[in-house]
Structure 1
Amino acid sequence: MGQSNSSSPQVILMGLDLSGKSTLLARLLTGQVMETSPTIGFNVGTLVLDKKTSLTVWDVGGQKSMRRSWRLYLDDCKALVFVVDSSDPTRLPEAQKALKKVLGDERLRGIPLMVLANKKDLPKSMTIREISNHLDLQSVTDRRWEIQACSALKGLGLRQAFLSVDKLIKKS
């Protein structure tokens, strides 16, 4: 990942493919809903939260073949944002495994975690409590973490979530 020329803390956006990471980042950066295709490699952008606060957000591809390279993005990471599709319970065991694996990396020791339960606008989406249980978040005791519901498509909860990420970074 190397050094970024800005002093914004680096935040890594991870999650399984089709969880909505790229849509979420595009919505945050542009305010628009954009057609996205599966990310090969990464997308990066600077999210300005207010006059004094910005975050450099790295959206890393989530396909199974890409997950092996997730570790390449961890060096300067100040917070991990893990996105799950709250409308697809069948993929939560896979998401839990992927999350546990990345949290086990030495470079992420003590780094705060924000889990975003995306696609909250869909009728059959699960509650954050259900998702928290499926991901076994209560076993994450070595770092600060939060879980929030959001909708990248509708733009709901995104800004609030990243303001919380900024607070988590400042507390850690």
Structure 2
Amino acid sequence: MSSKSAKVQETRILLLGLDSAGKSTLLYKLKLARDIVTTPTIGFNVEMIELEKSLPLTVWDVGGQEKMRRVWKYYCENTDGLLYVVDSTDKQRIEDARREFEHILKNEYIKNVPVVLFANKQDVPGALTAEEITRMFKVKKLCSDRNWYVQPCCATTGEGLVEGLRKLTGFVKAM
């Protein structure tokens, strides 16, 4: 079996972001297409998602608490795409989210891996827009060596989730 066909067998997506950004809510909305009550992820969740038969995704949702962020680097190996979730309403921690995003992009294992940032919680009045997140996170500069996209979304309603994941899978297929 060639490495290209092996890649079709499993596409590994890393789902990161600060705690309470909405990562698990987003994951299970995509997986189950319904609302579930989530609790802070201690460790990680792994789920298979199939938007299309030709590209099954294995999504690694890693906890975003401060102690977990120190081990994010260990999940980067063999990653084909990065989903980074930002709580667009958490203006007190937006700089922390940006700093963690910048730090993870420096990981040698995901040097050229495509990235989709989910600007989550767009249903909340006063949420930062996708354009504001793009500017604040310096995405054009930090991701100049890879495909990237910033997708406004609402994990609880599902709005924008499929579009963002389709964008990422398109990038992955083009690699």
TM-score strictly above 0.5: yes
Distance in 2 separating the partners of 1:129 and 1:50 = 29
Q: Percent same amino acid among aligned pairs?
A: 38
Structure 1 runs not aligned, ≥5 long:
1-5
Letter in 1 for 2:70: R
Query: Which of residues 47, 65, 72 in structure 2 aligns to 1:63?
Result: 65
Distance in 2 separating the partners of 1:159 and 1:130 = 21
Distance in 2 separating the partners of 1:44 and 1:27 = 14
Letter in 2 for 1:7: Q
Distance in 2 separating the partners of 1:63 and 1:28 = 22
Letter in 2 for 1:128: A
The equivalent residue for 1:163 is: 166
Tell me, yes or no, if structure 1 residue 110 matches structure 2 residue 112: yes
TM-score normalised by length of structure 1: 0.93
User: Over aligned residues, Cα RMSD in angstroms?
Assistant: 1.1
Paired residues, number: 167
The equivalent residue for 1:153 is: 156
Q: State the shift of 1:8 in Å.
A: 2.1
Distance in 1 separating the partners of 2:10 and 2:167 = 15
Q: State the shift of 1:48 in Å.
A: 0.7
Q: State the shift of 1:53 in Å.
A: 2.5
Distance in 2 separating the partners of 1:8 and 1:137 = 27
Letter in 1 for 2:10: S
Map Cα deviations across residues 35-54 of structure 1 (whole Å, 9 max, x no partner): 11110110011111123222
Distance in 2 separating the partners of 1:113 and 1:51 = 22
Q: State the shift of 1:84 in Å.
A: 0.1
Q: State the shift of 1:33 in Å.
A: 1.0
Map Cα deviations across residues 39-86 of structure 1 (whole Å, 9 max, x no partner): 011001111112322211110000001001101111110001100011
Map Cα deviations across residues 81-107 of structure 1 (whole Å, 9 max, x no partner): 100011122211101110111100111
TM-score normalised by length of structure 2: 0.92
Distance in 1 separating the partners of 2:92 and 2:147 = 27
Tell me, yes or no, if structure 1 residue 81 matches structure 2 residue 104: no
